[in-house]
Amino acid sequence: MRLLRVLTAAIGLAALLPQISAAQAGRQFKDAWFWGIKTGGLVYSSASTEHSAAPLVGAEWLITRTRAGLYASYDHTFLSTTGNFIDRDPDSTFTRNVSLKGLRRFSLAMMAFPMQTAKLHPYVGLGFSFNTIGGANFQTGFVNSTRYQIALDSVQSKKASFTPLMMGGLQARMTNFSVFAQASLMPVQQNFFLYSRNSGGAFNGSVEAGLRYNVGSSIDRAH
């Protein structure tokens, strides 16, 4: 029975594909709603490394009007690095290291679409992103639970950060979907684990590419 249900669903999907492709081919870039998937890499710095690269994957939404639009995305970066913070014992002050795993980024930006053509759609965006470290583990132990709790509070304050976001890219319309490539730049807050005093400008940047599918109009049309 399970096999029969799978075959039935596959046949139904195969029947719909020509209709989906035809609908996509007739949709314009402006006044549209795109869903997309992407992959790429993030260049970052931390207490243990400068200008390292880590792979990322993500999903996004792009809502377009004639000259402007709205962009939202979520991505996960598979990084592994070391951060630190100042730990102040009653008798001393020292730097404590923390192992960091993964970075989640939520982004929201207002978009502008200059120099549009029928097939090529350049864009620029300005907004903000919320960055949060997936996991942070201490590399050394503690003499008591009170010291541990104080250090844990310090870690929590450095695991997440809001930052401005600047981005630019190019989307190319194909027959059944669109392909895109884009780059983003984000200044890093000093109270975030991925800030490095030795990295100069303290910026993180990413380069991404992926596919976007036009799911329909972003406005209500009169019937």
Q: Is 5 within a domain? A: no
Burial category of 94 from C-beta neighbours within 10 Å (exposed 0-12, middle 13-18, buried 19 and up)? exposed
Q: What does the pLDDT average to over 98-102?
A: 95
Is 203 part of a structural domain of the chain? Answer: yes
pLDDT at 220: 60
Gap between the Cα atoms of 35 and 61, Å rounded: 5
Whether 19 is in a domain gets the answer no
Distance between CA 30 and CA 12 in Å, rounded? 30
With bands split at pLDDT 50, 70 and 90, how would you rate the model's confidence at 218? low
Do residues 61 and 35 make contact, with C-beta atoms less than 8 angstroms apart?
yes
> Would the pLDDT of 155 be above 70?
yes
Query: What CA–CA distance (Å, rounded) separates 173 from 157?
Result: 43
pLDDT at 2: 44
Residue 75 lies in a domain: yes
Per-residue model confidence (pLDDT) at position 151: 83
Looking at residue 27, its pLDDT comes to: 73
**CA–CA dist 165, 107 (Å, integer):** 8
Number of domains composing the chain: 1
Do residues 138 and 151 touch, judged by C-beta distance below 8 A? yes
> What pLDDT does residue 202 have?
81
Give CA–CA dist 211/17, Å, rounded: 17
Tens-digit pLDDT profile for residues 24-82: 455 789 899 999 999 999 999 988 888 899 999 999 999 999 889 999 999 999 999 99
- From its phi and psi, is residue 145 left (phi > 0), alpha (psi between -120 and 50) or beta? alpha
Helix (H) / strand (E) element for 72: namely strand 68-88
Does residue 143 lie in a domain region?
Answer: yes
Residue 154: predicted pLDDT: 86
Q: Whole-model pTM?
A: 0.80
183 within some domain: yes
**What residues make up the domain containing 207?**
29-216
Look at residue 13 and tell me whether its pLDDT is greater than 50. no
Helix (H/G/I), strand (E/B), else coil: 222 = coil
- CATH code where residue 57 lies: 2.40.160.20
DSSP string covering 14-32: HHHHHHHHHHHHT--STTE
Candidate from 12-16, 150-154, 201-205 with smallest mean pLDDT: 12-16
- With a cut of 70, say whether residue 92 has pLDDT above it: no
